[in-house]
Amino acid sequence: MDFHLSPETAAWREELRTFLAQELPPGFEGDDDFFDNEEQMAFAKEFTKKLGARRWFAPAWPEEYGGMGKTPVEQMVLNEELAYHRAPSGGRLFTIGITGPTLMVHGNEEQKQRFLPGMASGEVWYCQGFSEPESGSDLASMQTRAVRDGDDYVINGQKIWTSNAHVADMMMLLARTNPDVPKHKGISAFMVDMTAPGVSVQGIDNIASRHDFNQVFFEDVRVPAENLVGGVDHGWYVATTTLDFERSNIAAISGARRTVHDLIRWAKETHPGGRPWDKPGVRHKLGDLAVEAEVGRLVAYRTVWLQSKGEIPNYEASLGKIWMAMMGIKVANTGLNLLGAYGQLEPGSRWAQLQGRLRTAYLLAMSGPIGGGTSEVQKNIVAQRGLGLPRGT
C-alpha cells in the first residue's frame, strides 16, 4: 500500500485549502453540527451551497448525479480537509456519506435521477430514521409500521436520536412492512419528505446542552410507493449497507487530529504558570496523542483504500469506528487534564482556553462509542467477521 498522494490528489488538497482559507472567516471555529444557532445555520447553508455549486459536495459521485467522478481517495481528502478546518458539515455525513451511496447501491435509476442531484448540490439535507425507543443495537426489532394503501404507504410510529431531523429536508426511514416473518425479513426502506403531513419533530438536548438530535413521530404519514428503496421487505440489506458507509467516515479522526495539533500549539505558548511544553510530562502526553491520531488516520485511510478497490468496508470499518471513539475520549480527557481548571470554562468565557472546545469535546466524546452502533456491537462484528470467532449465545 502506497500512502503517497498522486500529484493530482495533492494538487486537489491544495486547491481545497485555498478555498477554505478564502471562505472561512479568520480563526473560524465552527461547531459544524450546532444547528440550533440561527446565524451558524445560515452560514452552514450558504457554505454548503458554495461547495455544491463547484460540485465539491459529492465530488466522487458520477457526473450525471451531480458529482465530478473523482476517486474515493479524493473524496476522503475533501472530508479530511473540511473536518480539519472545522468547516460547516451541512449534514454531509447523512446526505453524502450515507444516504447517497446507499441509494446508488439499492435505488433504481428513476430514484437516483430524482434524489441524488439535490443531495449533491448541497440543497437537500437528509437524516437517518433507524433507531427507536426500544430498538437500537437490536435494530431489526423496530416497530414503526408501513402499510400499503393504493399508491402510497402509510407510516405510523416513532424514531429517536435522529441527528439533524430538525434541519433535514428528507429522511431515509426504516419501517416494518411485514410483521409475520422473521424480524430481519419484514423491513423496508423509504425516502420520506420531512414536511409531509403527520411528521413531527421534537428536539432532545444532548449532554452538552446542544440540540443535535431529536425524536420524530409519524402519524398516518403517506409516502409514495415509488419512494420505497431496494424492494419490499429488503430494507435490512439497505440498512446494513448504510451502516457500513457510516463507519468508514474519516471526519471524526480528522477533527480529533486537529484538536491534538491545537493542544500542541497551546502547549508551546506561555500561560500563567509557565510554558506547558517545558514539562516532560506534558510533552509525553502530547506525543502519545499524536501517535493515536496518526494510527487513527491510517486505519481510516485503509477503509477508504478498500472502497477505492470497489469493496464495501465491513469489519475494517468497525475497527476504525472503535478506534475513533476511543481516541475522541482520550484526546478530550487528556486535553482537559492539560488545560486544568481553565479547560472547564464554557466557550465565550473570558478565561476559556482554546475557545472552550475541550470542555464541549469532553462531554460529546461520551457519545462516540454509542452513535452509529455501539463499540460493543462493533467488537462483535470484528470478532465474528474479522477474526472468524463464533457468535455468542
* Binding footprint of ligand FAD on the chain (CB under 6 A): 127-131, 136-137, 161-163, 213, 367, 370-374, 376-377, 380
Cβ-Cβ contacts under 8 Å for 110 (sequence gap 6 or more): 226
User: Between residues 333 and 367, which has the closer beta carbon with respect to ligand FAD?
Assistant: 367
User: Between residues 31 and 81, which has the closer beta carbon with respect to ligand FAD?
Assistant: 31
Shortest Cβ distance from residue 370 to ligand FAD (Å)? 4
DSSP class of residue 135 equals B
Ramachandran angles phi, psi of 3, nearest 5°? -90, -5
The span from the CA of 160 to the CA of 216, in Å, is 6
Q: Answer yes or no: are the C-beta atoms of 48 and 90 closer than 8 Å.
A: yes
User: Between residues 264 and 370, which has the closer beta carbon with respect to ligand FAD?
Assistant: 370
Shortest Cβ distance from residue 231 to ligand FAD (Å)? 21
Shortest Cβ distance from residue 93 to ligand FAD (Å)? 9
Q: CA nearest 320: which of 266, 270, 372, 276?
A: 372
Q: Answer yes or no: are the C-beta atoms of 155 and 221 closer than 8 Å.
A: yes
**Paired residues of 205 in beta bridges:** 211
Which grid cell is 61?
459521485
Instruction: Kindly state the greatest CA–CA separation across the chain.
Output: 73
The span from the CA of 36 to the CA of 203, in Å, is 10
- Cα within 13 Å of Cα(242), Cβ side: 31
Residue labelled with grid coordinates 477508504: 304
Shortest Cβ distance from residue 162 to ligand FAD (Å)? 5
The span from the CA of 51 to the CA of 302, in Å, is 26
Q: CA nearest 156: which of 198, 111, 191?
A: 198
User: Between residues 67 and 368, which has the closer beta carbon with respect to ligand FAD?
Assistant: 368
Report which secondary-structure segment, H or E, holds 219.
strand 211-224
Shortest Cβ distance from residue 210 to ligand FAD (Å)? 10
Shortest Cβ distance from residue 284 to ligand FAD (Å)? 31
Task: For residue 363, give Cα distances in angstroms to 116, 200, 286, 344.
Answer: 35, 28, 20, 11
Rg of the chain in Å (alpha carbons): 21
Quickly count: other Cβ atoms within 10 Å of residue 313's Cβ. Answer: 19
Nearest residue to the partner ligand FAD, using Cβ? 136
Shortest Cβ distance from residue 317 to ligand FAD (Å)? 15
The span from the CA of 323 to the CA of 295, in Å, is 9
Shortest Cβ distance from residue 175 to ligand FAD (Å)? 12
Q: Where does 70-186 show beta strands of DSSP type E?
A: 126-129, 145-149, 152-160, 170-176
User: Between residues 59 and 235, which has the closer beta carbon with respect to ligand FAD?
Assistant: 235
The span from the CA of 187 to the CA of 175, in Å, is 6
For the annotated catalytic residues, the residue numbers are: 246
